[in-house]
Amino acid sequence: MLLTAAPVASADYVRDQQWVLDVFAMNDTWAETQGEGVTVAVVDSGVDTSHPDLAGQVLEGKDFTGGGNAQKDLDGHGTSMASLIAGHGHGSGKDSGMVGLAPKSKILPLRVIQTQKDPNHDETWAAAVRYAVDQGAKVINLSFSNDGGKTLSDGRAAISYAQAHDVVVVASAGNDGSVAVDEPAALPGVVSVGAVDKDGNRWEGSNTGKGLTLMAPGAQILAADPTRSQQYSLSNGTSGATAYVSATAALVRSKYPDLSAGQVINRLIKSASFLGHKGLKAPDEEYGYGVIRPRQAVTMDIPAGPKTNPLGQLTSSVSSQSSKGTDSTAAKKKKSSSSNLVLIGGIAAVVIIGVIAFVLIRSRRNGGNGGPGSGGGSPQNPTYPPTQQPYNSAPNQGYPAPPGQYPQHPNSYSQQPPHQGQ
């Protein structure tokens, strides 16, 4: 009875549930730019190119799981993120279905997991990040976190490589509600993103703490979902918020192509707002520099400022090398050096040092414990926040909530003054 009684998700109904489009006045924003000429890399579970709201927006991409095709998405998470960024709707006039904030940007799908159960090793997503840079992506969306663990050398070097090549890197702060921003979002220079609800209040599961950069809508978010028979679902989480920030970065990069990545981030920060939250000073550990405002990000009179990243820069000894075999080459050199110590030394102490060095190198190459600042016992495999669990999944099988369940939003996003830290 639950299945047969489920409401039919009409195209108009799907569009009506996208409250974010209204509070951000996206029609006015799209008159300025729709993200033309910008590629956003989505490092995720792949992107389903058969979804009608993404037709023609998704590039070939690359699979890093051994599964073969980045344009397949068994989990749905990657497709959801892509739709929040570059969905363009479908039907006559494309006035039906899902629309992202940058509907004319392109998506580069990079599959690093196939299902939620798969470990997302640092060396895997790091390889995807490097590939994205080499393919010309201007924004990299990392809608995942490592649940409190440290990013290993592969991941740090890849993000440093992206920053050195003028790419905006955006990542999720995490969904634990804890007072600590997860890595890789917490790394220097990365735009870390938390989630707010319709009223601009922090979503209760959104992580807080030092290093939080921006907030974006992440509660009751409708997105494309190929794992549902209706092709859409509602969710909560910092994943969706991260995608919205990536989309806004794409809008800015499209409108101002001469700005550096650091100057783009500066515009995102300067145009953000604390909305109705008074007495906060940026950066605030609960709201960062405030909630993104796409229209203001592309229209406000904001001086370009220095080309450097206002959030800092992640340094790495291998950041400037090409993505082809960088980490493996460095590891082989270290391994060779350790082996030489064993052969040349002959003294017990030297042998022990060589063995320890060899074990550490093998551990880093295989995604084991350790790594810079890891403490040796931190979780090593970042996991995707569980954003694909829809509301009331038993009664409606993943459909958006029935009409009238949510009150009409008064659009507090546009009615409040700029953030007090500006």
Q: Which residues are catalytic?
A: 44, 77, 239
Nearest Cα neighbor of 80 from 231, 185, 251 is: 231
